[in-house]
Amino acid sequence: MNKEQLMESARSMRERAYAPYSKFPVGAALLLKDGTVINGVNVENVSFGATNCAERTAIFTAIANGYKKGDFQAIAIAGDTADFLPPCSICRQVLAEFCLPGMPVYLTNEKKEILELTLMDLLPYAFTDLEM
């Protein structure tokens, strides 16, 4: 799967987001090394601390489906923003827990442009267990 296909999967997920408070739907598509794509959406709660981001939804779903640390190949994140939409700091740290520093992270904007970064670009001084 190429980055455009992965991003289209993330974009299509936005309509499934539960974002009644922020009105800011986000979709994520997580590509696993076996070729499987697991999607995620943000799920809000009136108590914002109980909200879960699309990126973490995808990662946690992968873990619940039996995937392990190191099984992740790339992630695409899509919102409807003028600029590229990066993951929040909590999501960056969760990505650092399960993904290699050089894993591609694809971001998009309302013009459907795709910016390719690595996890290390997003979180250069990640707190990790150093086992990967």
How much is the average pLDDT of 101-128? 94
Task: Summarize the annotated binding site as residue ranges.
Answer: 53, 88, 91
Residue 55 within any structural domain of the chain: yes
Residue 112 lies in a domain: yes
Residues spanned by the domain of 53? 3-122
Catalytic residue among 15, 55, 97, 113: 55
pLDDT tens digits along 42-55: 999 999 889 999 99
Classify residue 128: in a domain, yes or no: no
- Specify the long-range contacts of residues 15-18, CB closer than 8 Å, at least 24 apart: 16/41, 17/41, 17/42, 17/43, 17/54, 18/42, 18/43, 18/44
> Is the pLDDT at 130 greater than 70, yes or no?
no
> Is 110 among the residues known to form the active site?
no
The residue ranking higher by pLDDT, 132 or 51, is 51
User: Which CATH number characterizes residue 22's domain?
Assistant: 3.40.140.10
Residues forming the annotated binding site for Zn(2+)?
53, 88, 91
Assigned domain for 130 exists? no
The CA dihedral of 126, 54, 62, 65, to the nearest 10 degrees, is: 150
Instruction: Read off the pLDDT of each residue in 115-121 and give the average, rounded to a whole number.
Output: 97
Identify the weakest region by mean pLDDT among 33-37, 64-68, 123-127: 123-127
CB atoms within 10 A of CB 101: 16
Distance (Å, whole) CA 61 – CA 77: 16
Note whether residue 41 is domain-resident. Answer: yes
Long-range interactions of 45-50: CB distance < 8 A, separation 24+: 46/21, 48/21
Residue 21 lies in a domain: yes
CA 35 – CA 22 distance, rounded (Å)? 33
97 in any annotated domain: yes
**DSSP 8-state assignment for residue 18:** B
How confident is the model over 79-96, as a mean pLDDT?
95
Question: Does residue 13 belong to any structural domain of this protein?
Answer: yes
Q: DSSP secondary structure string, 33-60?
A: TTS-EEEEE-B--SSGGG-B-HHHHHHH
Q: What's residue 2's pLDDT?
A: 97
Q: What is the pLDDT of residue 127?
A: 79
pLDDT band at 131 (very low <50, low <70, confident <90, very high): low
Q: How many domains does the chain have?
A: 1
Query: Is a pLDDT exceeding 90 seen at residue 89?
Result: yes
Token digits for 20? Answer: 């009644």
**Average pLDDT, stretch 33-43?**
98
